[in-house]
Amino acid sequence: MGRKLSFLVGLFAILFVSYAGAQVPLPGQVNPVSGGGCSASLPWIGAEACEWAGVELIPSVRGGMQWTALNFNLPIAVVPLTGIGPLDLSLKDANVWVGSIRIDARRDSFGAFVSAEGNARKTVTVSTPVEPLFVGDSVFEWTGPELEWWSFNGGIVFLPVYNFGLALGFRYDHLTLGLQDPRDSLGLFPPPLPFVDYRGDILTKLWVPYIGLVVSGPHCRGSISVSPLAWAEVRIPLRIDAVPSAGIADFNDLNYKLNRVGGFVEGDIAYWVDAGSSARFGLWASGTWLSVRGKGTEDFQEAGTLVQANESASDTAMLTRYTLSAGVSAILAF
């Protein structure tokens, strides 16, 4: 993941420098913002805008493919005869179709934007090299039905200098995924009992206030946003139900949790070409990276015919997640 992140950051840095240099007008050239470019009204988007109450509005849509990876690790020490134990969980390179809609508004050097995006649900594979049932003796793989991700994003933009500006925004991000049909590499699961059910869920929520740099022009737009204050909430409940014999049942609930602040980085670049007087079509690419480290907890509850127990433990947890996305886009004017 480190190499992919380094490549992503380097790519966006090169694109920013190259594009910014290409857009600064040389002596004797006409500044596209003041006329002579394809759009004097919204150079940071590059299309003629509809206008409402003196505010120029531009709607746009995107569609494409997103590659998502997620890892959660909580190395809690094993407590014998309980369900207290470590968890190492990975969602690797889940490929899903994504789509988004965005509206930009601008008046003079100030602007605002709001967007919503999400994915087409898909069944993926989740790996747990370490989990509390066998504690590292066997690698489990799970079926993850209906991976669901969506986010809302909004903010304001100030462009005091031609082609360069600052953005302040807020992003909410939500991801859910079920865990079912576990399979282990050694063939130890399910054990030889009349009934065993092992299942779970993954829930992550992100609240991200950020600041960003915007570079814009008639046919391109790029941005890099950062936040050291990304608040992450992670919930991974697991449940193990066993019926070893008639009249005896054992139900175990394990809840892994993390609520901490971490770092978040996002890069985005888009390019458009004219497709008539009222529309533009183009390509886009984006990437995000999240890292959160802090105190995580596990709460264990056993409710069985013979045993009743409640335990809890904590240790330093780590959550990392990145996405890489690319696709096509359209901008419409009315």
pLDDT of residue 281: 93
In the numeric block, which tokens belong to residue 78?
């094993």
CB 151 within 8 A of CB 117: yes
Distance CA 98, CA 66 (A): 6
Tell me if residue 324 falls in helix, strand or coil: strand
> Would you state the torsion angle of the CA atoms of residues 224, 225, 226, 232, taken in this order, to the nearest 10 degrees?
-130
The number of beta carbons lying within 10 Å of the beta carbon of residue 300 is 21
Domain ranges of the chain: 2-332
Amino acid at the residue 137: D
Structure tokens at 198: 């092992």
Q: What is the pLDDT of residue 16?
A: 43
Architecture of the structural domain at 2-332: Beta Barrel (2.40)
The DSSP result for 199-227, as a single string, is EEEEEEEEEEEEEEEEEE-SSEEEEEEEE
Q: What b/e readout covers 46-77, taking b as 16+ CB neighbours within 10 angstroms?
A: bbbbeeeeeebbbbbebebebbbbbbbbbebe
User: How much is the pLDDT for 11?
Assistant: 42
- Quick one: pLDDT at residue 12? 45
**What's residue 262's pLDDT?**
97
The pLDDT assigned to 33 comes to 33
Give the residues of the chain that fall short of pLDDT 50.
Answer: 1-9, 11-47
The H or E element spanning position 2 is: helix 2-23
Strand segments (E) across the chain: 50-52, 55-74, 87-107, 110-119, 122-130, 140-161, 164-184, 195-216, 220-245, 248-274, 279-304, 308-332
Q: What DSSP string describes 96-113?
A: EEEEEEEEEEEETTEEEE
CA distance 246 to 184: 27
Furthest CA-CA distance within the chain: 90
Dump pLDDT digits (tens) for 164-176: 899 999 999 999 9
State the first-to-last Cα distance of the chain, in angstroms, to the nearest integer. 43
